[in-house]
Structure 1
Amino acid sequence: MKTTVKALVVGGGAVGTSIAYHLARAGWDDVMLLERDELTSGSTWHAAGLLPYFNMSYATTHIHDHSIKFYKTLEEETGLDAGFFVVGNLRMAQSKARMDEFMLYAATAETVGVPFEWLTPSQIKNRWPLVRTEDLEGAIFHPTDGYINPADVTMAMAKGARQRGVTIARKWQVDGYEWTGEAWRVSVTKMVERGGNLVPSEEKAVITAEHVVTATGNHAQRTARLLGLKIPAIPVEHQYIVTEPDPALVEWRATHDQHPVLRDADAKWYVREERGGWILGPYERNAPARFLYDVPESFRADLFPLDLDRIEEEYMSMIHRIPSSEEVGLKDDYNGPICYTPDGNPLLGPAPGLRNMWLAEGFSFGITAAGGAGHYLAQMMVEGEAEIDMASLDPKRFGPWMTTEYAARKNEEAYEHVYILHHPDEERPACRPLRTAPAYDRQKAAGAQFGVVNGWERPNYYAPEGFSDHDARSFRRGGWWPYAVEEARAIREGVGLIDATAFAKHRISGPGATAFLDWFTCNGLPRVGRINLTYALTPAGTTRTEYTILRTAEDDYTLISGGAWHAYDEDFLYKAVMEKEAEFGRINAEDVTTKWGVFALAGPKSRDVLKALIRDPEPETALSNARFPWLSVRDIELGACPVRAVRVAYTGELGWELHHPMEMQTYLWDRLMEAGEPHGLRLVGARAQNWLRQEKSYRAFGNELGRDATPLEADLPRFVDLSKEFHGKAAMLDAGIRSKCVTLLIDGPADADPWGREALYDGAGKNLVGRLTSGGYSVAFGKSIGMGYVQPDLATPGQTLKVKMFDKLWEAEIVEDSPYDPKNARIRMDG
C-alpha cells in the first residue's frame, strides 16, 4: 500500500469512487482511495438507483445533470456496463399547487438545459395505461433520466479510476488525522473478518497526503470526531419494497420498452419497474434518524427491520395509482440508512478551519449526485474553483452552534419533506425557535412571522393575530403578500424598523489589519469614521464574500456580512489572516456577532424618530448631513443605550443601522417604538426589504453575488479599485465579462411575481439568454421586478426580454441601475 499520495479519498461508495476518478481525470496522478470494508458496502449497495433531476437548487441541478450525462459514457471508457436504464421519469401532480411547483422547478431546469415535457392526464393514460389518471392535474416528464444499478456504476467508476492510476485499498479504516503544516498524516488500521464482523487487526500504517477527501457516508459522525468538527450528516431510515411480477405490467412490456419511473409527489412515493414487478419507495412521516454518534462495528451491509405500518398509507396510494398492483405479492423489502443533512443537500467543499481537508458527506441522493459531485469537487481542488457557484452546498453553511439533536431532528424533517410541497417561502418548523435575539418575544407579540437565518429567528413580515404562515405559502402571491406590500410602502413613504441582528460581524484590528484588508478586499479602505462596501475574491477572481467595512480607528475595523453566511465567511477570513499575518504583522480577528444586535431604521421620517431619542449637546443637528453624512459611522447615545450608528440603508432610503449591545436590545426596541409612534413607525420584515433592495439594484450575496461571477460581471466597477493590488485581481481581469448583471421590470401574471430562478429569453422568446437571480414586487413601479444575468451584448437599458413564469413568457425590460432614485437623493436627504 502507498504511504505518500497527492490526494487520499476516504470512502468507497459511489461518491468517494467518483471523486477519486475525477481527481485523476483532472490530472492528479497520485490519488488513493481507502474503503474500510468493500466498495459499495455502505448505503450504495441498497440504494434504489434512481436518478431524479428534480431539485430546486441551481448548483444541485447542475450536479445531477452532469451525473446523468457522465454515467452514459462509462461503458465506452471502461468496458463495464453501468446498468443505466434510460426509461424516463414521470412526476405526477394531483393539485394545481403541485403543478405550480413543477413549473417553478422547470424554470431552474431550463437555465441548466435539462430537457422535460408537460403531459396532461389523458396523455399520460394514452402512453402508460397502467396508471390511473382521473384525479391528476398533469405531470412533468424527463425523457433522459431513469435508474441505474448502484453497484455497477460504482464498479465502473472504480475501474475508470484504476485505469487513470488511482490506487484503491479495501479493508483499511482511518483512525486519526494530523495536520503537519504541510500535509496530512492519516493513521489507518487493517480491518479483518472475525465471526461475521469486521474488526481492527494489529496491522497499522500512516499515509501522508497533501489533500484528504472524506466521503464516509453513514460514518460521518465518526469522521467528525476524528477531525474535531461538527458535521450535520446523520442517516435516516429509508424503506422500499419489491413486489412479485405484475401480470399487467408483464403483458404491457411484451410490446413496449421499460416503464418509466413514476413519482406521485402528493402521495409521497416513487415506483419503478423491477423484473416484471414494482419497487415502491415511500418518504413517510416518522422515519427515525439512526447512528447519531457511531455505526456499530457489527453493522456492515445490513438492514433494519421493516416497519410496514409506517408506510401503509403510501402502499395503499400505490395501489390506487397502479390498480394492477393490488393483487401482487411482496417479494423483497429493504430498510437501510441513508445520510441526510438539515436542508437535504450534501456537504461538499472545504472543511471549516482545516487546510486541504475536503468534505463530501450527507448525500441523501448519492447515486444521482455522485458523478457531478466528483466532477465539481475535483474542479475546486485542482483549479481552485468550480465553474458553478458551490456556496449553497458548502459544509460551512451550518455554523458551530449545530448540535447532534438539531441535526437528527432536522434530518428527519428533511426526509419527510422530500415530497412535501417546496414553496419558495416555506419555513420548516423542527427545532424552532432556537437562536433568538432579546426582542424576539416583542416581535412575536407584534405579529412577526419568522424565518430562519443560520439558526436565528428573523421576522419575514408582520401579520394580524390568528394569521397562519403555513396557510399563507404559495408559489404565487401568498397570503403574506399584502402585508409585505404595506411594509415596503411604509419605508418608501414614512419609516420602518427592521431587525438585522443576524448579520455576521467580525472585528479586525492590530498593526497588520490595514495592510491585510487592503490585500484581502477589492475596494479602497474607508477613512476613519467612514464605511465602504467591498468584496473578497476567490482565486478565480469571482466574488467569495461581500463586506460592509466600518473603520472606527486607524487599525480597527468591523466587517459586516450576510447572516446566512456567518461560518462560511468567518472560515475564509480567519484562514486568510493566518496565511498573511507573518507578512503584514499582527492581526486580531474576533467574532462579535452575538455581542451586537442591529436594528435598521429607514424611511424619510427616520431622522425624526432618532431626534426624539438622541442625547447630544446639539440634538437638532446631530443627525444632519454636516455632522453625520451618508456612509459614515458614529458612536451616539439613544436614551440610555450606547449605539454605533451607521448612515446606510439597504432599502435605499434615508436611514441608519443601529448597532447596539445585545443585552440592551429590548430597552432600545421599546424606546424606538415609543419614539416612532407619532411618526407612524411600522415594523418591517425581510421580504419587503428584499423587494426594496431590488428597486435600488443592490446585489445580494448568494443571489447576484457568488463564485461564478466577478464583481465586474456583477456590474460593480465602482467598488473595485484597480489602482491597487488585491487577492484575485489578475484572475478577475483575465475572466473578462462573460455575462452581466441587470435589473428588469416585468409585466408578469396578475397573481404572481418571479422568485429569482426563472429563465430569460430574447425579445422574440426563442433563445435562452440568461436567468434571474432575484425576484419580487416593486411598490415604486407597481409591477414585478427582478435581477439576473444576461449576455453582455443585451445588458442595455431599454432592452426587452421575456421571462418564463408558469410555463408562459412575460414581457420584461432591462432598466437603468437603481431604477428607484438613481441619483440617491433620498438617501442623502438632509434635515
Structure 2
Amino acid sequence: MKSHVKALVVGGGAVGTAIAYHLARGGWDDVMLLERDELTSGSTWHAAGLLPLFNMSYATTHIHKYSVDFYKTLEAETGLNAGFSVVGNLRMAQTDARMDEYMLYASTAETCGVPFEWLSPKDIKDRWPLVRTEDLKGAIFHPTDGYINPADVTMAMAKGARQRGVTIERRWQVDGYEWTGSEWRVTVTKMVEQGGNLVPSDERQVITAEHVVTATGNHAQRTARLLGIKIPAIPVEHQYIVTEPDPALVEWRKTNPQHPVLRDADAKWYVREERGGWILGPYEQGAPARFLYDVPESFRADLFPLDLERIEEEYMSMIHRIPTSEHVGLKDDFNGPICYTPDGNPLVGPAPGLRNMWLAEGFSFGITAAGGTGYYLAQQMIEGEAEIDMASLDPKRYGSWVTTEYAARKNEECYAHVFILHHPDEEREACRPLRTAPVYDRQKALGAQFGQVNGWERPNYYAPQGFDDHAARSFRRGGWWQYAVDEAKAIREGVGLIDATAFTKHRVYGPGATAFLDHFTCNKLPKVGRINLTYALTSAGTTRTEYTIVRKGEDDYYLVSAGAWTAYDADFLTKAAEDHMKAGGGFVVIQDVTTQYGVFAVAGPKSRDLLKELIRDAAPETALSNKRFPWLSAREIELGMVPVTAIRVAYTGELGWELHHPIEMQAHLWDRLMEAGEKYGLKLVGARAQNWLRQEKSYRAFGTELGRDATPLEADLPRFVDLAKEFNGKAAMEAKGIRSKCVTLLIDGPADADPWGREALYDGETRVGRLTSGGYSVVFGKSIGMGYVTPEVAVVGKKLKVKMLNRLWEAEIVEDSPYDPKNEAIRKDG
C-alpha cells in the first residue's frame, strides 16, 4: 500500500468512490481510497437506488442533476452497466397545497435545466391504469430520472477511478489523524474476519496525505471524535418492503414499459416496480436515530428488525393507490441506517478548524447525490471553488453548540419531514427553543412567532395571542402576511423595533489587524468611529462573506455579519489571520463575541425621537443629530443604564440605529425602549417584514444575492470595491468579468402570492436568470424581487417575466434602491 498520496478518500460507498473518481478526472494523479470493509458495505448496499431530481435547494438540485446525467455515461467509459432504469419519476398530489409546492419547485427546476411535465389525473390514469387517480389533483413528472442499482453504479465509478490511476484498498480502518502543519499523518489498521465480525489486526501503517476526504457514512461520529470536531450526521432507520409479483402488474408489463417511480407525497411513500412486484418505501413518523456514538463492530452489511406497525398507515395507503397490490404477499423487507443531518442537506466542504480536511458526510439521498458531490467537491479541492455556491452544504453551517442529542432529534424530525409539505415559510419545532436571547419570554408574551437561525430563536412576525403559525403557512400569502405588511408600514411611517441579536459578531484587534483586514476585504477600511460595508472574497474572486466593519480604534475593529453563518465566518477569519501572521504580518486576535452582545435595531422616521427619550448625554437634543452622529458612524452612548455601541445604519433603509449592548442587560434595555416607544406608537417588527424592506432598498443579503458563485461586481456593488488597492481574490474577480448581474424587479404577480426567491426569469421565451429573493413592497403595493440576469438585459426599464404558480407574470427591472434612491430618509437630520 502507498505511504504517501496527494489525496486520501476514506469511505468506499457511492459518495467516496465518486469523489475519488472526480479527483482523478480533475487531474490529481495520486489518489487513494480506503474502505474498512468491502465497497458498498455501508448504507449503499441496502439503498433503494432512487434518483429523485425534486429538491428545493438550488445547489442540491444541481448536484442531483449532475449525478443523473453522469451515471448515464459510465457504461461507455467503464464497460460496466450501472443498472440505470430511466423510467421517470411521478410525484402525485392529493391537495391544492401540494400542487402549489410542485409549482414552486418547478421554478427551481427550470433555473437548473431540469425537465418536467405536468399531468392531470386523467393523464395519469390513461398512461398507468393500475394507479387510482380519482382523489388526485395532478402530478409533476420527471422523464429523465428513475432508479439505479447502488452496487452497480458504485462499482462502475470504482472501475472508472482505477482506470484513471486511483488506488483502492479494502479492509483498512483509519484509527488516527495528525496534522503536521503541511500534511496529514493517517494511521490505518488492517481489518480481518473473526467469527463473522470485522476486527482490527496488529498490522498498522501510516499514510501521509496532502488532503484527506472523509465519506464515512454511518461512521461519521467516530470520524468526528478522531478529528476532534462535531459532525451532526447521525443515521435514522429507513425501512422498505418488497412484495411478491402482482399478477395485474405482470400482465401489464407484457405489452407496456415499466411504471415510473411513484411518489404519493401526501401519503408519505414512494413505490417502484421490482421483478413483477412493488417496492414500498415509507417516510413515517417515529423512525428512531441509531448509532449516536458509534457503529458496533458486529454491525457490517446488516439490518435492523422490521417494524411493520410503524408503517401500517403507509402500507394501507399504497393499497389504496394501487388496488391490485392488496392481495399480494410480502417477499422481502429492509430496515437499515441512512445518515441524516438536521436540515436534510449533506455536509460537503472544508472541515471546521482544520486544514486540507474535507467532509462528505450526512447523505440521506446518497446515491442521488454521489456523482454531483464528487464533481463539485473535486472542483473545490482542485480549483479552490465550485462553479455553484456550496455554502448551503458547508459543514460549518452548524456551530459547536450542536450536541449529539440535538442532532439525533433533528435528524429524526428531518426524516419524518421528507414528504411533509415544504413550505418556504416553515419552521420545524424539534429541539426548540434552545438558544434564546434574554427577552425571548417578553417577545413570546407579545405574540412573537419565532423562526430559528443558527439555533437562535428570532421573531419572524408578531401576531395576536392564540395565533397558529403552523396553520398560517402557505405557498402563497400565508395567514401571517398581513401582520408583516403592518410591520413594514410601521417602519416606513413611524418607528419599529427589530431583534437582531442573532447577528454574528467578531472583534479583530492587535498590531497586525489593520494590514490584515485591508488585504482580507475589498473595500477601504473606515476611519476610527466610522463604519463601512465590505466583502471578503474567495480565492476565485467571488463573495465569501459580507461584513459591516466598525473601527473602534487604530487597530481595533468590530465586525458584524450574517447570523446564520457564525462558525462559517469564524473559521474563515481565523484561518486567514493565521495565514497573515505566518506570512510575516503583525499579530492579530480574532474573537467571536456573538453571544456577548445583543442587538436591537430601531428604525423609522420617529426613531431619533424615541432614542432621545433614553439617551444620557450632556446635550440629549443634539446627541443623535447629523453633526454629532452622522450616517455610517458609530458611537458609544448610554441608553438608560445600558452602555451601547450605537451604529447609525439601518437594514430597512430608514433613519435608524443598531444598538449593540451587553446581552446581560438586554431585558432592561428592552423594557426602557418599550416604555419610551408608547409615546411614538412603537411597533415590534419581525424578520419577514425586514426582508421585504431591504429589497425596497436593493440591499443584497448573504446567502441569497451574495455568495460564492458571483463576484461583488456581478452583484453590482462597485461602490464597495476599492480597485486601487490589492486584496485577496482581486485578480480572480477581475478575470471573471461580468457573467451575470444583480437587479431589482417590481412584479405584477398574482393577487394572492409573492415570489419566494426561487423563480425563473424570462425575456420572451428565453430564460435569462433567476430570482434570489422575493416578497412584497408596501411602498409600491406589489410584489418585489431581486435576482441575477444576463448582462445584456440588466437595464433599468427592461420588461421581463417571472414564473410563478406555473404562469409567467409581468416584471420590470427598476433602479437600485427604488425606495428613496437618494437616501434622504436614512440621512434625515434632527
Shorter chain as denominator, the TM-score bin is: over 0.9
Q: Determine whether 1:16 maps to 2:16.
A: yes
Q: Deviations over 1:433-490 (max 9, x none)?
A: 0000001000000000000000000000000011010000000000000000000000
Q: Deviations over 1:741-788 (max 9, x none)?
A: 0000000000000000000000x2x01000000000000000000000
Instruction: Give the Cα–Cα distance (whole angstroms) in 2 for the partners of residues 388 and 650 of structure 1.
Output: 27
Instruction: Give the Cα–Cα distance (whole angstroms) in 2 for the partners of residues 389 and 248 of structure 1.
Output: 47
Superposition CA RMSD, Å? 0.3
Give the equivalent residue in structure 2 for 1:819. Answer: 818
Give the equivalent residue in structure 1 for 2:578. Answer: 578
Report matched runs for 1:423-442 at 5 Å. Answer: 423-442=423-442
Deviation at 1:258, TM superposition (A): 1.2
Deviation at 1:584, TM superposition (A): 1.7
Q: Deviations over 1:30-61 (max 9, x none)?
A: 00000000000000000000000011000000
Q: Determine whether 1:694 maps to 2:708.
A: no
Instruction: Give the Cα–Cα distance (whole angstroms) in 2 for the partners of residues 534 and 116 of structure 1.
Output: 40
Describe the SS at the equivalent of 2:326.
helix
Describe the SS at the equivalent of 2:746.
strand
Q: Deviations over 1:83-128 (max 9, x none)?
A: 0000000000000000000000000000000000000000000000
AA of the residue aligned to 2:594 = T
Instruction: Give the Cα–Cα distance (whole angstroms) in 1 for the partners of residues 511 and 544 of structure 2.
Output: 25
AA of the residue aligned to 2:518 = D
Give the equivalent residue in structure 2 for 1:472. Answer: 472
Give the equivalent residue in structure 1 for 2:65. Answer: 65
AA of the residue aligned to 1:194 = Q
Instruction: Give the Cα–Cα distance (whole angstroms) in 2 for the partners of residues 444 and 697 of structure 1.
Output: 31
Give the equivalent residue in structure 2 for 1:328. Answer: 328
Q: Determine whether 1:770 maps to 2:769.
A: yes
Q: Deviations over 1:405-427 (max 9, x none)?
A: 00000000000000000000000
Give the equivalent residue in structure 1 for 2:541. Answer: 541
Q: Deviations over 1:685-717 (max 9, x none)?
A: 000000000000000000000000000000000
Deviation at 1:309, TM superposition (A): 0.2
TM-score, length-scaled by structure 2: 1.00
Q: Deviations over 1:248-302 (max 9, x none)?
A: 1111100111111000000000000000000000000000000000000000000
Report matched runs for 1:130-209 at 5 Å. Answer: 130-209=130-209
Q: Deviations over 1:336-383 (max 9, x none)?
A: 000000000000000000000000000000000000000000000000
AA of the residue aligned to 2:664 = E
Structure 2: tracts of 5 or more residues without a match: none
Instruction: Give the Cα–Cα distance (whole angstroms) in 2 for the partners of residues 820 and 639 of structure 1.
Output: 34
Q: Determine whether 1:790 maps to 2:816.
A: no
Give the equivalent residue in structure 1 for 2:45. Answer: 45
Instruction: Give the Cα–Cα distance (whole angstroms) in 2 for the partners of residues 346 and 71 of structure 1.
Output: 20
AA of the residue aligned to 1:421 = L
Give the equivalent residue in structure 1 for 2:55. Answer: 55
AA of the residue aligned to 1:715 = D
Q: Deviations over 1:542-568 (max 9, x none)?
A: 000000000011100011000001111
Give the equivalent residue in structure 1 for 2:558. Answer: 558
Deviation at 1:210, TM superposition (A): 0.1
Give the equivalent residue in structure 2 for 1:800. Answer: 799
Instruction: Give the Cα–Cα distance (whole angstroms) in 2 for the partners of residues 328 and 551 of structure 1.
Output: 72
Instruction: Give the Cα–Cα distance (whole angstroms) in 1 for the partners of residues 174 and 71 of structure 2.
Output: 29
Instruction: Give the Cα–Cα distance (whole angstroms) in 2 for the partners of residues 11 and 667 of structure 1.
Output: 53
Give the equivalent residue in structure 2 for 1:707. Answer: 708
AA of the residue aligned to 2:785 = G
Q: Deviations over 1:725-744 (max 9, x none)?
A: 00000000000000000000
Deviation at 1:153, TM superposition (A): 0.1
Give the equivalent residue in structure 1 for 2:124. Answer: 124
Instruction: Give the Cα–Cα distance (whole angstroms) in 1 for the partners of residues 336 and 41 of structure 2.
Output: 12
Instruction: Give the Cα–Cα distance (whole angstroms) in 1 for the partners of residues 3 and 222 of structure 2.
Output: 23
AA of the residue aligned to 1:236 = V
Instruction: Give the Cα–Cα distance (whole angstroms) in 1 for the partners of residues 656 and 590 of structure 2.
Output: 29
Instruction: Give the Cα–Cα distance (whole angstroms) in 1 for the partners of residues 561 and 174 of structure 2.
Output: 37
Deviation at 1:532, TM superposition (A): 0.2
Describe the SS at the equivalent of 1:534.
strand
Instruction: Give the Cα–Cα distance (whole angstroms) in 2 for the partners of residues 705 and 28 of structure 1.
Output: 31
AA of the residue aligned to 1:224 = A
Instruction: Give the Cα–Cα distance (whole angstroms) in 1 for the partners of residues 589 and 290 of structure 2.
Output: 41
Give the equivalent residue in structure 2 for 1:362. Answer: 362
Give the equivalent residue in structure 2 for 1:746. Answer: 747
Where does structure 1 differ by over 2 angstroms across 4 or more consecutive aligned residues?
none
Give the equivalent residue in structure 1 for 2:86. Answer: 86
Q: Deviations over 1:507-565 (max 9, x none)?
A: 00000000000000000000000000000000000000000000011100011000001
AA of the residue aligned to 2:702 = F
Instruction: Give the Cα–Cα distance (whole angstroms) in 2 for the partners of residues 589 and 163 of structure 1.
Output: 46
**What percentage of residue pairs aligned between the two structures are identical?**
84
Q: Deviations over 1:646-680 (max 9, x none)?
A: 00000000000000000000000000001110000
Give the equivalent residue in structure 2 for 1:678. Answer: 679
Q: Deviations over 1:311-334 (max 9, x none)?
A: 000000000000000010000000
Describe the SS at the equivalent of 2:619.
coil
AA of the residue aligned to 2:779 = A
Instruction: Give the Cα–Cα distance (whole angstroms) in 2 for the partners of residues 143 and 489 of structure 1.
Output: 46
Describe the SS at the equivalent of 2:508.
strand
Aligned residue pairs: how many? Answer: 829
Describe the SS at the equivalent of 1:235.
strand
Instruction: Give the Cα–Cα distance (whole angstroms) in 1 for the partners of residues 585 and 228 of structure 2.
Output: 29
Deviation at 1:5, TM superposition (A): 0.1
Instruction: Give the Cα–Cα distance (whole angstroms) in 1 for the partners of residues 4 and 29 of structure 2.
Output: 12
Structure 1: tracts of 5 or more residues without a match: none
Report matched runs for 1:483-562 at 5 Å. Answer: 483-562=483-562
AA of the residue aligned to 2:505 = K
TM-score, length-scaled by structure 1: 1.00
AA of the residue aligned to 1:792 = P
Q: Determine whether 1:265 maps to 2:265.
A: yes
Give the equivalent residue in structure 1 for 2:383. Answer: 383
Describe the SS at the equivalent of 1:98.
helix
Give the equivalent residue in structure 2 for 1:613. Answer: 614
Instruction: Give the Cα–Cα distance (whole angstroms) in 2 for the partners of residues 696 and 412 of structure 1.
Output: 40
Give the equivalent residue in structure 2 for 1:446. Answer: 446
Describe the SS at the equivalent of 1:584.
coil
Report matched runs for 1:725-744 at 5 Å. Answer: 725-744=726-745
Deviation at 1:581, TM superposition (A): 1.4
Instruction: Give the Cα–Cα distance (whole angstroms) in 2 for the partners of residues 43 and 671 of structure 1.
Output: 56
Instruction: Give the Cα–Cα distance (whole angstroms) in 1 for the partners of residues 15 and 641 of structure 2.
Output: 57
Instruction: Give the Cα–Cα distance (whole angstroms) in 2 for the partners of residues 794 and 818 of structure 1.
Output: 18
Instruction: Give the Cα–Cα distance (whole angstroms) in 1 for the partners of residues 585 and 6 of structure 2.
Output: 31
Instruction: Give the Cα–Cα distance (whole angstroms) in 1 for the partners of residues 639 and 181 of structure 2.
Output: 49
Report matched runs for 1:92-107 at 5 Å. Answer: 92-107=92-107
AA of the residue aligned to 2:263 = R
Instruction: Give the Cα–Cα distance (whole angstroms) in 2 for the partners of residues 139 and 266 of structure 1.
Output: 12
Instruction: Give the Cα–Cα distance (whole angstroms) in 2 for the partners of residues 692 and 435 of structure 1.
Output: 26
